[in-house]
Amino acid sequence: MKLFAQLATAQATSRKIWTLAAPYFRSDEKWKARALLAGIVLLNLASVYMLVLNNDWFRLFYDALEKRDQTVFWQQLGRFTYLAFAFILISVYKFYLTQLLEIRWRTWMTGHYLQRWLSHHAFYKMELARYAANGTTPDNPDQRIQEDLNLFTVYSVSLSMGLLNAVVTLVSFVGILWGLSGIFSFTVAGSTYNIAGFMVWMALLYCVVGSVLTHFIGRPQIALNFAQQRYEADFRHHLIRVREYSEAIALDGGEKVERRQLDTRFSSVLANYLKLLKAQKNLIWFTSFFGQAAVVFPFIVAAPRFFSGAIQLGELMQISSAFGRVQDALSWFIDNYSSLAAWRATTDRLTSFEETFQALAQGNTAQAATNTVANTTDELRTQDLTVSLPNGTVLLTGLSLAVAPGDSVLLKGPSGSGKSTLFRAFAGIWPFARGQVQRPPDTMVLPQNPYFPDGPLRDALAYPEPVTAYTDEALRQALTDALLPQLASRLDDADSWSQKLSGGEKQRLAIARAFLKNPRWLLADEATSALDESAENTLYKRLLERIQAAQGALVSIAHRPGVAGFHQRQWTLVAQSQEASQARFVLSDGAVPQTPGSPPARG
């Protein structure tokens, strides 16, 4: 029963491999891919053929030596030259074309996966999905794309070609062994039985028993291999985090905690590795035993015929060597068990990654049915919008809001009440929002902690547009307007801007981006929180002037009372309920309360 379950798993794995592998050979690169594959198959067949020829050459050459036949000796040496040349040519091109297929296939798959990962906010949703109720947790997508795709293509090509080689070798040498085996006769209860190709059956039996045992001994390796890569990736991921947050960790003096965390992660790497090592050791015990036994097995089996005088020593030796070839070919499964285990682990990881993409695509469709984000209107409007957390907790519900051109709205509420999340829903990236959102096309979101790509400052400023879209004059003017005149002369300086700039400088650089792009609609999420009040007021004034001149609107999240004066309306989030069945907060819409000393409302 267990064996049947194993066979079913093997079949399921083959199906997964096929599902992952087939698209490349059906893609728009299919002719190149198929031609390369056909070339490699031919070269593999040719290399086995060369082995057979070589075998034959040995016979002729040694015969010539034994007979002291100089003519044949020189003739065979001449033949060896072109055989060797053909062998070298085949080996070089077999290597080259195999590598070429692997890297082309990997390139195609990488492009394909990057496309899907970066489409429809999949990269963002996958991170969110980790925290979702019943969400799938695809760990380390970076590793899937960088390492697993590489391993998958390499294993797929090398293992399938290895199998082909084994099968062809088997077919070539099984005939030879069959011919040498003769007929084995034995008598049971008075009747005589004759078995043709006895040695072939023996080789087959030997290898089938060996393969089945290998599988049962080596099986734990599959899960351990799968886990090993995950632990390695977790360890590496944490190292990257320490690098990314180096400054904050140094300021907090968090080295000891980080060291402990890294040690914990590495101890998982080590513990799993030791288990893997033990599993591999067990397998090596068996395969070594199996390999050594294979040396004497044919002699033991053929001995009765030798001692009865049915075969001579030469034949016995030939049987042993042909048996060796057949046994080698049949042992392909045993020899490649660890690689097969790694191939299967890689396939499983890629399949779960693939399934996540599919689940996200289905989620997108389901979401699209309830959540229309139209961006053709000239109004920011929501209808019956519900905003929840990934774990299902409802933050806000039944929101029907409208912001018309010329409006300026301040969104206030306690920390954690869902202000930023509401902005995410406005922007159409929050997958846990239901209801309708209409958003004007040229809406820009200014986040509290903006992102800048590493590289020249001009690219960071123009991001995500190409820098060619803007003149140097416009770029410099935007920086000056955003109170960053000192950066105006550094447009070509390449740096890691997200790390180098101070919080306030980053916010000013993001505002410079808004000045550069002049969106009509602006959602500012604590976009000036790190600035001093005077800079905050200057920049808010400039932003508002531009938006009003363009007949757009501004919605801000801000805490300082000074900013309130730049808005006409205020949405206030008030805590309502702690019960899971109800929304945590309600939103009330009203005028901005006047506080003494705040700038007069404009607009």
Residues that bind ligand ADP (CB under 6 A): 128, 131, 389-390, 413, 415-421
**Rg of the chain (C-alpha set):** 36
Smaller CB distance to ligand ADP: residue 232 or 525? Answer: 525
Smaller CB distance to ligand ADP: residue 163 or 429? Answer: 429
Residues 6+ apart with CB under 8 A from 246: none
CB of 263 to ligand ADP, least distance (A): 28
User: How far is Cα 516 from Cα 476, in angstroms, rounded to an integer?
Assistant: 9
Smaller CB distance to ligand ADP: residue 39 or 390? Answer: 390
CB of 264 to ligand ADP, least distance (A): 23
CB of 384 to ligand ADP, least distance (A): 19
CB of 484 to ligand ADP, least distance (A): 26
Q: What sections of 308-418 are H helices per DSSP?
A: 313-330, 332-335, 337-370
Smaller CB distance to ligand ADP: residue 169 or 421? Answer: 421
Total residues found in the chain within this entry: 603
DSSP 163-176: HHHHHHHHHHHHHH
Helix orientation angle between 198-218 and 313-330, rounded to the nearest 10 degrees: 40
Contact 113, 143 (CB under 8 A): no
User: How far is Cα 439 from Cα 371, in angstroms, rounded to an integer?
Assistant: 12
User: How far is Cα 561 from Cα 504, in angstroms, rounded to an integer?
Assistant: 19
Smaller CB distance to ligand ADP: residue 140 or 417? Answer: 417
The structure tokens listed for 213 are 């045992």
The structure tokens listed for 498 are 């997200």
CB of 426 to ligand ADP, least distance (A): 12
Smaller CB distance to ligand ADP: residue 152 or 430? Answer: 430
**Residue recorded with tokens 């392909």:** 332
User: How far is Cα 322 from Cα 173, in angstroms, rounded to an integer?
Assistant: 6
Tell me which residue of 500, 523, 502, 510 sits closest to 460, measured CA to CA: 510
Q: Which phi and psi (to 5°) does residue 582 adopt? A: -115, 160
Smaller CB distance to ligand ADP: residue 356 or 421? Answer: 421
Smaller CB distance to ligand ADP: residue 316 or 389? Answer: 389
Task: Kindly state the DSSP code that residue 145 receives in the 8-state scheme.
Answer: I
CB of 423 to ligand ADP, least distance (A): 8
User: How far is Cα 493 from Cα 475, in angstroms, rounded to an integer?
Assistant: 14
The structure tokens listed for 603 are 């607009």
CB of 7 to ligand ADP, least distance (A): 43
CB of 421 to ligand ADP, least distance (A): 3
Smaller CB distance to ligand ADP: residue 419 or 513? Answer: 419
CB of 365 to ligand ADP, least distance (A): 22
3-state helix, strand, coil in the chain (%, to 5): 65, 10, 25
CA distances to 5, 266, 272, 273 from 279, rounded to whole Å, are 21, 20, 11, 10
Smaller CB distance to ligand ADP: residue 224 or 433? Answer: 433
**Residue recorded with tokens 């979401």:** 367
